[in-house]
Structure 1
Amino acid sequence: MSGLEIIAVILGAINIVLIVRRNIWNYPVGMAMVTLYAQIFFDAKLYSDALLQIFFFIVQIYGWWYWLRGRAQVGDIVVEALSWRARGLGVAGLILATASWGWMMHRYTDAHFPWWDGGIAMMSVAAQLLMSRRYLENWLLWIGVDIMSVGLYWVKDLKLTSALYVVFLALSIWGFEEWMRVRQQKAVSA
């Protein structure tokens, strides 16, 4: 456990609480967190996760812009849901992306746990894109990412980060429930 990891963990917890609360300030906090985790994961030879942090940084900018545009008249962030067709296509795309990325990390790098790490990375990309677009289903993917990450980071001796992902798991469940409640309220009032 390093000082860098401690700071990243604190920022990560703040970030997820802000997302669950649909607070737009999650984005600058998230950008600081992913900057730190890029270095942490690179040092741990979790290259998929290190590269993922660069993606996260870019998509944080996009999400911030999109959330600014996606406010209801009262200022709340509007929650959307994917169609069944979009869900099916998303799952198929995620399986293909995970297989391709895991193979590439296995074949061309000295990455530790390239398939496990690659699966986390591809699910995270999909979840982040869905979250940026305010889709409820992002939380289901984050729950899967969190479960997989707890084990990987524990094995890689990133114990504090593993513990953070236990907290992320609880917050992701809370986030799903909260966003589902907001979505249902919208349907009732419509």
Structure 2
Amino acid sequence: MTQEQVAEQLAQAWAALSGWEVAAVVLGVAYLLLAVKESLWCWYAAFFGTAISLYVFWQVGLLMESALQIYYLVMAVYGWWQWQQNSHSASQENSASDTLPISRWGWQQHCYALAVVLTLSAISGTLLAEHSQAAMPYLDSFTTWGAIVTTWMVARKVLENWLYWLVIDGASIYLYMDRELYLFALLFAVYLVIVVAGFLQWLQSYRSSLA
């Protein structure tokens, strides 16, 4: 497919978007940008954006995507509650954030998280491959389970969540390109840029908190 054909499909997909879909996309980008700044408002954007996405996916019969949005709704509430817990001492009043501090995982925790994601992806991928007509069942399963684990990492303010998103969003772009969902692929390409900025910003904040 030529670049002109891809551009034409992008324009057609954008023109076909409903107001609700546009709102969900805008709030999704706002969530990431606010998360980079460690702002509690990111969870408000996440909650309302997810609620809209739930409505959109349900209307078009994407039941599994709808179920995933329910998880995201719960995590938006959990993330907001976690981030507002002020665990800084009085001597840290000048730190970059007065909410939950950024933390890091050791290699054992990362190994456990990756093992969980890969195991669940293999199980659900096999089930989908054998009992459904799902496209790219293993990659689809990997991005879904990876997003579930990584969203929990964001709620706990684990620095490496941005690196996980880098892999997941990159895999999602390939998945969407294969399905000719070019608008979603473009959106996730934007996400990749924000994810890199988010990691660098959080890393700086983390190092400042140790100084």
TM-score calculated relative to the size of structure 2: 0.79
One of 55, 69, 74 as aligned partner of 2:71: 55
Tell me how many residue pairs correspond in the alignment.
188
Q: Which residue of 1 aligns with 2:5?
A: none
Q: Which residue of 2 aligns with 1:30?
A: 46
Q: What is the RMSD of the two structures over their aligned residues, measured on CA atoms?
A: 2.2
The CA deviation at 1:158 is: 3.1
The percent of aligned pairs where both chains have the same amino acid is 23
Cα distance in 1 between the residues matched to 2:173 and 2:57: 14
Please, which runs of 5 or more residues in structure 2 have no aligned partner? 1-12
Larger Rg: 2
Q: Assess if the C-alpha contact under 8 Å between 1:59 and 1:132 holds in 2.
A: yes
Cα distance in 2 between the residues matched to 1:58 and 1:40: 18
The CA deviation string for residues 170-190 of structure 1, in whole angstroms up to 9 with x for no partner, is 111111111111111112x2x
Cα distance in 1 between the residues matched to 2:62 and 2:140: 7
What SS is found at the alignment partner of 2:103?
coil
Q: Which residue of 2 aligns with 1:119?
A: 142
Please, which runs of 5 or more residues in structure 1 have no aligned partner? none
Q: Assess if the C-alpha contact under 8 Å between 2:27 and 2:48 holds in 1.
A: yes
The CA deviation at 1:35 is: 2.6
Alpha-carbon distance change, 70 to 94 in structure 1, aligned in 2, over 3 angstroms: farther
Return the structure number with greater relative CO, CA threshold 8 A, min gap 6. Answer: 1
Cα distance in 1 between the residues matched to 2:109 and 2:78: 21
The CA deviation at 1:49 is: 4.0
Cα distance in 2 between the residues matched to 1:166 and 1:56: 21
The CA deviation string for residues 34-71 of structure 1, in whole angstroms up to 9 with x for no partner, is 23334555677766544322211111111111111145
The CA deviation string for residues 114-157 of structure 1, in whole angstroms up to 9 with x for no partner, is 22211100110111011100101111111111101112223334
Cα distance in 1 between the residues matched to 2:144 and 2:169: 11
